[in-house]
């Protein structure tokens, strides 16, 4: 398969870096994304991708296969997770045999999504565009100074993202000192994940939300049903991929979480 690579005039700014040791599979993904107007480039193993990044290539999103020789997709993602906030791309993991444990590990390493082979072109483009929006929001939040007394929308977004980071840091610290089963109910973590996604205009699937919860999938599904019964979250079927279900906060759920963060940040006026 021959694909014309779309790169920027400088040749170093990419929308997507595709990493797959199967050349034909990598070129197929490049073709899907190039047709959608995205600038992409393939790397045929994780070491080659790391060399490209070391040579100055910058990518908003990395789409990487899990099963690769020498350096696996998970090991590659772990190295990307060490990058600073400005340099770190969003990660989408691809696998032909992804299980629940793979999803948990991928999300632990900061992956935005996990796609299974054979890849649906529309689903891939949608996932990449969603990841790009999330990275742009993250980048804008990191770049925008938070000035006391200001009321600009970007200031509020940055403050909320900082508060989310604080809460997650507390969660990690808590895990060092207390048995994890003392805080096993995943409902709050799910609400935080969905709120984070709403701030970045990203999508969260049932599978990824369950994996991020840190509890067995059957338990996560039961807690999702409980959140639905309280009208805090809603399931939306993906019209383009009937196998995929999107989870979102309802208006009531978003209002409740926003209220919490307004109080947490000391900005509640009533």
Nearest to 209 by CA among 99, 89, 113: 113
Give the percent of the chain with pLDDT over 70. Answer: 78
Q: List, in sequence order, the alpha helices (H) in the chain.
A: 23-35, 46-54, 73-80, 100-108, 121-143, 153-177, 187-199, 206-213, 217-229, 251-264
Residue 22 lies in a domain: yes
Reported as a single tens digit per residue, the pLDDT across 189-241 is 889 889 988 887 888 888 888 877 777 888 889 999 999 999 999 999 877 77
Count Cβ atoms within 10 A of the Cβ of residue 239 and give its class: 0-12 exposed, 13-18 middle, 19 or more buried: exposed
- Of 117 and 232, more confident: 232
Q: Which of 105, 140, 175 is the last residue of a domain?
A: 140
Is 57 in the same domain as 133? yes
- Is residue 179 included in any domain, yes or no? yes
Under 8 Å between Cβ of 207 and 182? no
- What range defines the domain where residue 135 resides? 13-140
Res. 42: pLDDT tops 60: yes
pLDDT at 212: 75
Last residue of a domain, one of 140, 168, 197: 140
Could you tell me if 29 and 99 lie in one domain?
Answer: yes
In-domain check, residue 8: no
Q: What global pTM score does this model have?
A: 0.56
- 17-26 pLDDT, tens digit each: 999 999 999 9
**Quick one: pLDDT band at residue 112, thresholds 50, 70, 90?**
confident
């Amino acid at each position: 398969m021959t694909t014309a690579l779309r790169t920027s005039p400088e040749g170093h700014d990419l929308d997507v870096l595709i990493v797959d040791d199967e050349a034909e599979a990598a070129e197929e993904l490049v073709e899907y994304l190039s047709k959608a107007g995205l600038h992409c480039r393939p790397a045929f193993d994780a070491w080659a991708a790391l060399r490209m990044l070391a040579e100055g290539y910058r990518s908003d999103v990395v789409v990487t296969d899990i099963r690769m020789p020498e350096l696996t997709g998970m090991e590659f993602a772990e190295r990307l997770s060490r990058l600073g906030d400005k340099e770190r791309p969003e990660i989408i993991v691809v696998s032909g045999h992804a299980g629940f444990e793979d999803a948990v590990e991928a999300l632990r390493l900061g992956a935005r999504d996990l796609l299974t082979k054979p890849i649906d072109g529309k689903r891939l483009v949608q996932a990449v565009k969603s990841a790009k929006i999330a990275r742009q929001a993250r980048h804008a939040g990191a770049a925008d100074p938070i000035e006391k007394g200001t009321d600009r929308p970007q200031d509020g977004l940055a403050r909320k993202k900082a508060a989310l980071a604080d809460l997650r840091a507390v969660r990690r610290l808590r895990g060092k000192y207390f048995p994890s089963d003392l805080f096993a109910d995943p409902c709050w973590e799910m609400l935080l994940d969905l709120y984070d996604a709403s701030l970045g205009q990203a999508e969260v699937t049932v599978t990824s939300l369950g994996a991020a919860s840190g509890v067995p999938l059957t338990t996560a599904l039961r807690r999702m049903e409980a959140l639905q019964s309280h009208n805090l979250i809603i399931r939306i079927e993906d019209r383009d991929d009937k196998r995929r279900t999107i989870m979102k906060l309802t208006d009531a759920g978003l209002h409740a979480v926003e209220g919490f963060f307004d109080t947490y940040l000391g900005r509640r006026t009533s």
